[in-house]
Structure 1
Amino acid sequence: MAAPEFKIPRPHLGEPYLLTPGPLTTSYVVKQAMLRDWGSWDDDFRGMTRELRARLLDLLGAGKEAFDCVPMQGSGTFSVEAMLGSFIPRNGKVLVLANGAYGKRTAQTLEYLGRAHVVLDKGDYLPPRGAEVAKILADDPAITHVVAIHCETSSGILNPVEEISEVTYAAGRKLLIDSMSAFGAIELKVADIRYEALVSSANKCIEGVPGFGFIIARKTELEAAKGNSHSLSLDVHAQWAHMNKTEQWRFTPPTHVVAAFLVALRAHEAEGGVAGRGARYTRNRDVMVAGMRDLGFETLLKDRWLSPIIVTFFCPSDDNFAFDRFYELMKDKGFIIYPGKLTVVDSFRVGCIGQMDEHVMRQVVAAAKEALAEMGVANAAPPARALEERAILAA
């Protein structure tokens, strides 16, 4: 099937735009790909699995030959748990770098798995930096692995995985990356950043639909993972070995989702790959943030740490503002936003990914302006305490 030409997105059959970090707004051709049934054992579907794995490896650039790709049924969290349970030995110890909900979920997963771990918790505002990671590793020689979240979507922060990688391997440890919401839009070329494995999902920056994730790992790590897993269905080594032997998934695959994902991968290539996709998302963010700031909204993060994936805004302090009402007004205007996940102050999030461009983001800002007016909100500025806390913690 020929790669679809990338075109400027337009409204999709009256559906609202999903301004979330995935599931997200998909193209019509991606939706259309799910209208056919496939036999999971059939040669045609085996060929689809081969193409999927090869295309994802291509995104690694030079050095991809040392890696392999293992799709895994389920949501992205299934694949994260599969990565952790398969690549961290039962006698290993993990340093979890957390600055939001997904770092904390990693720690919770390790609790379930019975893997020893420590957490560097940076709160909602700041990234983990190389120097502090290096100190923790120097002080605790029992740590074998570091787990980093590439883009922490509970805040929208883009973490500095390159410097984290440098200090991790300088200390003789191994790095695993949860790139759930970043892979496909932000480079993770193995020639530039060293890591053992990454995990992402079909319904993120490749712009497919939910149903499976994938683990991309060094073949040496995949080979060494035999016998590590706590789970039958989440055993990455077993899935990898079975796929390489039979070209089939071990258990029933999400066939329609795979078909849609291949169309999305071809569109990703037509747009210019990681660079092209990332550039569009960056323009989306810049246009949307500038417009929202003009309305008086404040971002949780300073510009330096804003990702092109999703942006967190403080809720206005105006007594007339209620998030639930704002959410419904935005939905009525064709835009589904995301609640915040901060613990101290109220917030909401606006995603920049999916089948949207900067023209759509201008419509988002216009809708927000109208919603504020309908609510009688005169000023979208946040509470003073929110800005004070940000200043203190970011100092």
Structure 2
Amino acid sequence: MEFPMSDQALPAPEMGEPYLLTPGPLTTAFSTRQAMLRDWGSWDGDFRAMTRMLCDQLVAMAGDREGAFACVPMQGSGSFAVEAMLGSFVPRDGKVLVLANGAYGLRAAETMRYLGRAHTVIDKGDYMPPRGDEVGAALDADPEITHVFVVQCETSSGILNPVAEISEAVYARGRKLLVDSMSAFGALELDVSRIRYEAMVSSANKCIEGVPGFGFVIARTEALEAAQGNSHSLALDVHAQWAAMQKTGQWRYTPPTHVVAAFLEALRLHAAEGGVAGRGARYTRNRDVMVAGMRALGFETLLKDRWLSPIIVTFFCPADPNFDFPRFYAAMKARGFIIYPGKLTVVDSFRIGCIGQLDEHVMRRVVSAAGEALAEMGVDSAAPPDAAIAERARLAA
């Protein structure tokens, strides 16, 4: 399947750049980058209209058909937006159940610690998702919990968490759900008509394929209204940002104007590809082709197929003593591909992203490059250590 690109789009290697096989920043369309060549006045009516267009399109992408949700863009990286959501929607006397199975769930727990707000954690390690029944049991055991936080796609392992069943467990007990959809929104379903939540966050430079510079919160309007006075921060107050935009159409503080312009072009390309379904289908094909090819070389995925997301895949490092990840990374970069180091706590690993302006033909070249890199290092087998497989089996049991 060829993915649609604008007439001015060019594959990254033709521009002398490697493909970014990361969970964002990622390889963007040339027309998206080109959209940043014009300067915009942040107070000007044209830019206010751009902000309004951005918010309207994102709310529509979330599946809101009843006008019950609003979008609030927030300056900064994805972690800024996550902290803004937690600090704004959780009352100061609230308590959060953080569901963690990787670095980003644990980062949310660390954020709560910095905020000085009550929280507890279900930590599933690197291999398994939190399930609805255990979330329900935790809520039954602790009536003080007011909110649950879950990462839709935990990119430290590449695991796709079952948000729908978690949401059912949360709202069956009268609690509220907050979703980190940083590396999933735009490619994986998070339709508010099917999955209930109070608020979710994502970022410009993920599955919508924009460039870094802002995140955004999509939240129930009633939750936004109730968030007044909750925030620990002036700059990260989602309610204050929303209220200012409602009144003036402007961001409270200097917005990343060029990034917004690029994002609108990325949204246009996203719609041309078929929206969430089209983008998700390409990423899924990217994953399937790449995983099959890497397994044929002898590599082993951290996760079983059931939990593999189409966003990023984690592989065990080979046991062969000639394998050295820095050399492997350099060899892949020399062939036009920037991969991602591992972020696991127990075993050595690395990650290959499936998102950005690339398709299955690029992924076949990724596999060929990996094979060449192994040969260059004199690695006879890409099979992982027996201990890594045993540890996965033990923790996944």
TM-score range, shorter chain: over 0.9
- Is the 1:159–1:305 Cα contact (8 Å) retained in structure 2? yes
**Structure 1 unaligned residues grouped into runs of 5+:** none
**Amino acid in structure 1 at the alignment position of 2:82:** V
Aligned counterparts of 1:275 and 1:6: Cα–Cα separation in 2: 23
Tell me the equivalent position of 2:241: 239
Which residue type is aligned with residue 212 of structure 1? F
* Match in the other structure for 2:198: 196
Q: Is the 8 A contact 1:316 1:380 kept in 2?
A: yes
Residue 392 of structure 1, CA deviation? 1.2
Sort the Cα spacing of 1:208 and 1:243 in 2 relative to 1 into closer, same or farther, 3 A.
same
Q: 1:333 is matched by which residue type in structure 2?
A: R
In 2, Cα distance between the equivalents of 1:145 and 1:268?
32
Q: Kindly state the Cα deviation for residue 63 of structure 1 after the two structures are TM-superposed.
A: 3.5
Q: Report if aligned partners of 2:48, 2:249 keep a CA contact under 8 Å in 1.
A: yes
Aligned ranges for residues 186-335 of structure 1 at < 5 Å?
Answer: 186-335=188-337
Q: Is the 1:57–1:64 Cα contact (8 Å) retained in structure 2?
A: no
Residue of structure 1 in register with 2:367 after alignment? 365
Shift in alpha-carbon separation, 1:268–1:64, aligned structure 2, 3 A? farther
Aligned residues: 393
1:95 corresponds to: 97
Aligned partners of 1:113 and 1:94: how far apart in 2?
12
Q: 1:321 to 1:64 in 2, by over 3 A?
A: farther
Structure 2, gaps ≥5 residues long: none
Q: Which residue of 2 is the match for residue 37 of structure 1? A: 39
Aligned-residue offset at 1:65: 1.0
Q: Is the CA contact (8 Å cut-off) linking 1:5 and 1:270 kept in structure 2?
A: no
> 1:363 deviation in Å?
0.3
Match of 1:390 among 375, 389, 392: 392
CA distance in 2 between partners of 1:286 and 1:8 (Å): 25
Mean Cα displacement is larger for which, 192-201 or 10-19?
A: 10-19
**Given the alignment, which residue of 63, 68, 71 partners 1:69?**
71
What RMSD over aligned residues (CA atoms) do the two structures have, in Å?
1.3
Where do residues 91-240 of structure 1 align in structure 2 (5 Å cutoff)?
Answer: 91-240=93-242
Q: Match for residue 25 of structure 1?
A: 27
What CA distance in whole angstroms lies between the structure 2 residues aligned with 1:59 and 1:344?
37
Whether the 8 Å contact between 2:332 and 2:369 is mirrored in structure 1 is: yes
Other-structure match for 1:342: 344
Alpha-carbon separation, structure 2, partners of 1:96 and 1:116: 11
The separation in 2 between residues aligned to 1:119 and 1:321, in whole angstroms, is 36
Q: Distance in 1 between matches of 2:260 and 2:316?
A: 37
Relative to 1, partners in 2 of residues 1:195 and 1:6: Cα closer, same or farther, differing over 3 Å? farther
Contact 2:26 2:205 in 1 (8 A): yes
1:11 aligns with 2:40: no
Residue type of the partner of 1:88?
V
Matched-pair contact (CA < 8 Å) for 1:20–1:350? yes
Letter of the 1:226 partner, please give it. Q
- Measured in 2, the distance between the counterparts of 1:341 and 1:264 equals 29
SS at match of 1:65: coil
Output the CA distance in 2 between the equivalents of 1:156 and 1:14. 29
Q: Shift of the alpha carbon at 1:29?
A: 0.1
Please state how far the C-alpha of 1:60 moved relative to its aligned partner.
1.7
Residue pair 2:5, 2:29 contacting (<8 A) in 1 also:
no
Q: CA deviation at 1:14?
A: 1.3
Partner Cα distance (1:216, 1:6) in 2:
32
Which residue identity does 1:203 align to in structure 2? N
Distance 1:168 1:209 in 2: 34
Contact 1:64 1:190 (8 Å CA) reproduced: no
SS state at 1:111 partner: helix
Q: 2:9–2:30: 8 Å Cα contact kept in structure 1?
A: no
Q: C-alpha distance in 2, partners of 1:191/1:34? A: 34
Aligned counterparts of 2:294 and 2:264: Cα–Cα separation in 1: 35
Conserved 8 A contact 1:179-1:199: yes
TM-score by length of 1: 0.98
Distance 1:263 1:64, change over 3 A: farther
Percent of aligned positions that are identical: 75
Contact 1:209–1:260 (CA<8 Å) still a contact in 2?
Answer: yes
Query: In the TM superposition, what whole-angstrom CA distance separates every residue of 1:131-159 from its partner, at most 9, and x where no partner exists?
Result: 10000000000000000000000000000
Contact 1:94 1:143 in 2 (8 A): yes
Structure 2 distance, partners of 1:40, 1:363, is 42
Separation in structure 2 between the aligned mates of residue 153 and residue 64 of structure 1, nearest angstrom: 32
- The answer as to whether partners of 1:6 and 1:271 remain within 8 angstroms in 2 is no
Tell me by how many angstroms 1:11 deviates.
3.1
Change beyond 3 A, Cα 1:388–1:113? same
Distance (Å, rounded) in 1 between the aligned partners of 2:283 and 2:74: 26
User: Deviation string for 1:59-92 (max 9, x for gaps)?
Assistant: 1224351000000000010000000000000000
- Cα deviation, residue 8, structure 1: 9.0
